[in-house]
A = this chain, B = another copy of it.
Amino acid sequence: MGSGAEHGESELHGALRAALGDVTVLAEPAAMEPYRRDRALDPDAGVPLAVVLPESTADVQAVMRWASAHGVPVTPRGSGTGLSGGATAVEGGIVLGTERMRAIRIDVDTRMAVVQPGLLNAEVKAAAAAHGLWYPPDPASFEICSIGGNAATNAGGLCCVKYGVTADYVLGAEVVLADGRAVALGGPRLKDVAGLSMLALFVGSEGTLGVITELTLRLLPAPPPARTVVAWFGSTERAAGAVVAIASRVRPSMLEYMDRLSVNAVEDVLGMGLRRDAAALVVARSDDQHPDGAEIAAMLRAFADHGALEAFEAEPAAGERFAQARRMAIPAVERLGPLLMEDVGVPLPMLADLITGVEAIAAARGVAIAFIAHAGDGNTHPLIVDDPGDPGHAARARLAYGEVMELAIRLGGTITGEHGVGRLKRPWLVDQIGEDLLGISRRVKRALDPDGILNPGVIFEADDGPA
């Protein structure tokens, strides 16, 4: 490695092009620029040797064989919507973008989709829906995030509270290893325990173990219709209490939380009449089909029991507007300033402590933190709003960013519920999982990528590998 783009079209470029044949290779700085960072906008992103855009498994194998032979690091990249810096270019490395790998095949009889990694989540959903089927996982970015990236990060979303995360839908994968070999993990079988669960290990490995070149996904029949209930609270703790009560008694298909700051930011954009005075908004859905409506009743009772200012079932159209308000939260808060986006999770009973603890951090550091959450599964997104006009602010925001993760760990939680560790959260990983688990994880990483060329710096320190 070490041959950065400053060399222009070097001998190394020539060798790469020769090895890759028809595969698109970008080497001009301007052409590579959009591929250097994901949405985490890591300021330390390197200038890669090249960006390659394979179209087939064989193409990816050729890239990995070449990179392996030359000791060049490879950053696998989906559509670049990652929020933890998991797709940050390495100086002199190769960015392997999967955007041209877009084939999909739906098998109605087995309710499965076989997809290449570059297809967007929304495109998978649409292809399934065309057959009356449903691919549930729904990251808020589902319209722009790739299905390969979803599997690489084990992405979550809003419906996970009832329908599970990406891992629950990945039945099989084809992955290309560091040395260029392609292996099939799992397959179109609903139950398969033959050998170690290598498939489950690869899902969520953030490109550190191999490059996903194909996924076999489980689909469900079309989703049942859902009813929406909404509650406004005067206190964040009471809202959290209602969330815990609901999640412990019924199976909501959505259970989301927004605080005052995020509600006001959304109201600024949408002007839909949201209550600017309330401390928190909870939006819940039930798709239980029992005619007695017991789940809806239990939700409304939990709201009342926890002192909601107001709680009601929304008509379908209004319910959809509340769900849209929740999906709009991140872009709306982003209008207030650049965001440091958290993704911390806690055991549900700790939700109120996390919320009040984050409020305390915001006050102590003098930074604004909007708090939105997939509350039903304890996965929250405190959004730290930077103020570029205030010179000391960025440093205080960074401190708050770490303190929120440390708080989550103290509460028995996780530094990342669905975005991944990437580069941004790597310094805190050991605080959560401990030296022993990090140590055996590193041994597994080395067992599969002995030269450390796959996404170095993500999850593990780049210099962890013997290479």
A interface, CB within 8 angstroms of B: 107-111, 153-154, 156, 160-161, 164-165, 167-168, 177, 181, 183-185, 187-198, 200-201, 203-205, 208-209, 220-221, 224, 244, 247-251, 288-291, 345-349, 374, 377-379, 412-421, 425, 429, 432-434, 436-438, 440-441, 443-448, 459
Pick the contact of A110: B185, B201, B205, B348 (CB < 8 A).
B348
Whether the pair B448, A191 counts as a contact (CB closer than 8 A) is no
Bound-state Cα–Cα, A445 to B191, Å: 22
Contact indicator B440/A153 (Cβ below 8 Å): no
Residues of B within 8 A of A419 (CB): 193
Give the Cβ gap from A429 to chain B, nearest Cβ, in Å. 6
Among the listed B191, B348, B417, which residue makes an inter-chain contact with A378, where contact means beta carbons less than 8 Å apart? B191
Which residues from B are CB-within-8-Å of A421? 193-195
Point out the residue from B109, B193, B201, B250 that lies within 8 Å of A349, measured CB to CB. B109
Which of A184, A193, A415 counts the most B-chain CB atoms under 10 A from its CB?
A: A193
Q: Copies of this chain, how many? A: 2
Residue in B closest to A251 when the chains form the complex, CB atoms:
B221
| Contact, CB under 8 Å: A448 / B440 | yes
For A183, the chain B residues whose CB sits under 8 A away are 434, 436-437, 440
The smallest C-beta distance from A211 to any residue of chain B, in angstroms, reads 14
> Assuming the A-B contacts A168-B164, A194-B432, are A446 and B444 also in contact, with contact meaning beta carbons closer than 8 angstroms in the complex?
no
Which of B156, B194, B443 lies in contact with A448, CB distance below 8 A?
B443
Most central of A156, A167, A188 by chain B CB within 10 Å: A188
> Given that A168-B168, A290-B289 are contacting pairs, would A156 and B196 also be in contact in the complex, using a CB cutoff of 8 Å?
no
Tell which of B108, B161, B197, B244 touches A167, judged by Cβ atoms closer than 8 Å.
B197
Complex Cα–Cα for A436 and B175 (A): 11
| Distance to closest chain B CB from A228 (angstroms) | 18
Known: A201-B201, A224-B290. A379 touches B191 (CB 8 A): yes
CB–CB A188/B437 < 8 A: no
Q: Are B444 and A189 in contact (CB under 8 A)?
A: no
Residue of B nearest to A161 (CB): B190
Residue in B closest to A250 when the chains form the complex, CB atoms = B221
Contact pick for A379, options B190, B195, B197, CB 8 Å: B190
Decide: A248 near B197, CB < 8 A? Known: A191-B377, A191-B417. Answer: no
CB pairs A–B below 8 angstroms (15 shown)? A185-B437, A188-B347, A189-B347, A189-B414, A191-B378, A194-B429, A195-B438, A196-B209, A197-B205, A198-B440, A198-B441, A198-B444, A200-B201, A221-B250, A446-B447
Can you list the 10 inter-chain pairs with the closest CB atoms, starting with the nearest? Answer: A200-B200, A289-B290, A190-B377, A443-B447, A191-B417, A192-B414, A447-B447, A188-B347, A191-B379, A196-B441
